Amino acid sequence: MTSYLKFGVFTRLYYPSKDHGILDRYLQWPLWLPHKEYLNGYSVRLGMPPCFLRFLHQMLVGKLYIPAIWQAPLRPTEEKYPVIVFSHGLSGWRTSYSSLCLELASYGFVVAAVEHRDFSASASFYKKQVRMSTSGTNPGASLCDLDDLLNDQSDFESSDLVDGKWDPGQGVQDVGPFCHAKEWMLYQRATKENESRLRSRQLKYRAKECMEVLDLLEDLNKGRYVANVLESHFDSGMFYNQLDLKKAFFIGHSFGGATGVLCLATELRFKAGIFLDPWMFPFYGDQSSFSMVSEPFMCLLVKSFQTKKSFRLLKLLQDMHNDSQFLVLKDAYHRDLCDTPFIKKFSLSLSSKIGFRIERFAILDLASDIILQYLGHHLGKDFRGCSSKIESLKKKYLRAEDYMNKLVR
């Protein structure tokens, strides 16, 4: 987190480490669920009491850890690391795609997983500055509250902008001793009346955050000082001259996939994009950004999630860009592309066991292989050799563009 202000960048970095013996150093693994507030926010999305969801999580899941070393040193390299900006879906957060991000990092990518603070994540927070009295008896009042996104009529413009950038001196008053406390922002459900406008505004805000993450990666690569207000001992200097920003890619799932369409239409630094089962609702009213996409991209779609209208919009996007690639997964679920398969302590569905749908871990292997092949194509590398298991999965569950054309009819 780069700022105490309401619009700072918040991201989790996954990168190749020079440390070994990760499985033996499990005490250094970070928690997959950073805080219980993420469950509280997800309960809003599900429409159930937070206490009930926390109880289910404790009984069926328990504590999960990400098999990676927290704040490990970067593995130095003479060949700079390509970078990926990853955008989560609706009600996701910065660690909810850790399995895919770790897989990409293990193949030599530096992945910046954004936690969007537009009320589309299950939860997020910023460090609010509060006034402290000299006697210590009065906790004081907030000095920089977050504007209510749902009620604010502006398109996320702020007086904190100076020459097009956020000025850390604006919005904070020098009024004496203060401390910083977490201010939580839980997921906000949309109504039928405001959903179209809300999602359109969130889409723009998400794209802006992804571009700011690219700015952050550039600063890290140039050795510039980058503030981290999470009071971490993370050594950002180890990224100096280690990142190849000319090989910057975008990957997003669901709402993150839609975010990628807008990013590739407005940000020229991305070399290519991968949209994992994009949620096309934000484009129902306005497809003007489709023609502005200037870089190649790949769409990996899940048949059961996309509607007829979504397929028509995707076909429109495809017709505008001959260098794009569209693939369709059969017999899979939309949520299979995030960490959901790992948080099920018990498999609640027999369909995968008797062959009606793809096995829940196999889809992540398949998706990782497709993504790495596409990235390798743009980097001139072959990240993975042929695997009989993957080839079998592709033959059974993966369909090409002509299959999507049939679904549009």
* Chain centroid offset of residue 95 CA: 8
The residue behind tokens 């089962």 is 277
Compute and round to an integer the Cα radius of gyration of the chain: 21
Going by C-alpha positions, the residue among 257, 250, 358 that lies closest to residue 299 is 257
Strand partners, 244: 82
Tokens of residue 235, six digits: 């050594």
Distance, CA of 248 to CA of 272 (rounded, Å): 8
Strand 178-186, strand 165-166: pairing:
unpaired
The pLDDT, as a whole number, for residue 405 is 59
Write out the DSSP string of 232-273: ----GGGGTT-EEEEEEEEEEETHHHHHHHHHHHH-TTEEEE
What is the DSSP secondary-structure string of 84-102? Answer: EEEE--TT--TTTTHHHHH
Question: What is the reported pTM?
Answer: 0.85
Distance CA 69, CA 80 (A): 21
The label of the residue with tokens 């020098």 reads 174
Residue 334 appears among annotated catalytic residues = yes
* CA gap 59, 258 in Å, rounded: 34
pLDDT in tens, the chain (409 residues): 887 766 788 999 999 998 778 888 888 899 999 999 999 999 999 999 999 999 988 888 888 999 999 989 999 888 999 999 999 999 999 999 999 999 999 999 999 999 999 999 999 988 876 665 545 444 444 444 444 444 444 444 433 333 333 333 333 333 445 567 788 889 999 988 899 999 999 999 999 999 999 999 999 999 998 888 876 778 889 999 999 999 999 999 999 999 999 999 999 999 999 999 999 999 999 999 999 999 999 999 998 899 999 999 999 999 999 889 999 998 888 988 999 878 765 444 434 444 456 787 888 899 999 999 999 999 998 887 667 888 888 888 888 766 555 555 5
pLDDT at 379: 94
Three-point CA angle 52, 54, 59, nearest 5°: 95
pLDDT score of 282: 95
Q: What distance separates the 2 farthest-apart alpha carbons in the chain?
A: 72
Q: What is the DSSP letter of 299?
A: E
Q: Which of 3, 334, 352, 368 is catalytic?
A: 334
Q: What is the reported pLDDT for 113?
A: 97
SS3 of 11-43: the string is EEEECCECCCCCHHHHHHCCECCCCCHHHHHHH
Say whether 159 is catalytic.
no
- List the catalytic residue out of 277, 336, 339, 369: 277
Catalytic, out of 3, 99, 124, 254: 254
The answer to whether residue 154 is catalytic is no
What pLDDT does 178 receive? 57
